[in-house]
Amino acid sequence: MGEDIEFPDKSHHGRKTITSGFFEREIRLSGGETAAFLRNLANAIESDTQITVSGSDWEIPFEYREPIEVEVEFSKQREGELEIEVEFTEARSGDGGLSVE
């Protein structure tokens, strides 16, 4: 079963499970909170292809397939910005196996 990766937010009232449509949330974290979140994500990626990312009032269960796309973007206009994006693609049913019934 997949692992839960939570953003550091202490309240958990009535989470909504997101499984379709569009959802986006920007969350500002300290360096330590970001490192802990990324460690949890890395551990989840190493252990399974099912993860659940959640905040205080939402959760997104997701089963992905490899490869995982990692994009690095740097911009130095008024102030410097480094963006690192990790993109998971949803697993397809029947991926990776043979079966006989």
The domain locations on the chain are 3-90
Q: How many Cα atoms are found within 13 Å in the side-chain-facing hemisphere of 30?
A: 5
In this predicted model, what pLDDT tens digit does every residue of 53-95 receive, in sequence order? Answer: 999 899 999 999 999 999 999 999 999 999 999 999 999 876 5
pLDDT value at residue 14 = 78
Report the distance separating Cα 75 and Cα 100, nearest Å. 52
User: What does pTM read for this prediction?
Assistant: 0.74
pLDDT at 8: 59
